[in-house]
Amino acid sequence: MSGATPVEMLEAEHRVIQKMVAGMSVLAEQLERGEPVDVSLLESIVGFLRTFADRCHHGKEETFLFPALIRRGVPSHGCPIGGLTMEHQKGRVMVGELADAIRGYAAGEPPAREDLVKSLRALVDFYPNHIWKEDYLLFPLAGKVLTPEDQQELMDKFETVERELGLDVHEGFGKVAAELERKVSGIDSSLKQG
């Protein structure tokens, strides 16, 4: 990640999150057809969303990027910072609901499959809109108001987050997203052939 700007680092993280979301959509379709889904795969999605998407990605935004923007005169309430912060909180609740649905599914509870599909679909709907707002509203704004010194300070802080989470967090969760993408592309192609 070194050598990138803070915004480029966050955008790269968005691409990894989008891979995971695409896989989640296919898993929801699989469940809707009455096909089983591997519980450990579902649990790895929750781990990804909690660690990579929330602690790493949203953590960088809330702890460092948003305060830097506020120092440069961007309002802390309203658009974009207040709205995005509320969306991060909503995402955390939705991931908790997904984790609960997975536990019910693993235990074979009657409404669990429907709850699981509902939770997956809610996150599949949520993330693209949220990412769009950041890619096309927040990040261009950051590019306009942050000084080169602000950007360097953010990069230093982002790299600290990476070290604290473990230097391999991106690689590890990138592999999880790629593995999910590989699994679901195999599901897709077998459906098209059948």
Note the pLDDT of residue 166: 73
pLDDT at 189: 46
What pLDDT does 110 receive?
83
Are 169 and 57 within 8 A, CB to CB? no
Query: H or E element: which one contains 15?
Result: helix 6-32
List the chain domain ranges: 6-193
The low-confidence residues of the chain, meaning pLDDT below 70, are 1-3, 167-174, 177, 183-194
d(C-alpha 58, C-alpha 128), whole Å: 15
pLDDT at 184: 66
The rounded distance, in Å, linking the Cα atoms of 24 and 18 is: 10
pTM score over 0.85: yes
Q: Give the other-Cβ count within 10 Å of 37's Cβ.
A: 20
The string of pLDDT tens digits covering residues 57-91 is 999 999 999 999 999 999 999 889 999 999 999 99
The span from the CA of 47 to the CA of 107, in Å, is 19
Q: What is the CATH number assigned to the segment(s) 6-193? A: 1.20.120.520
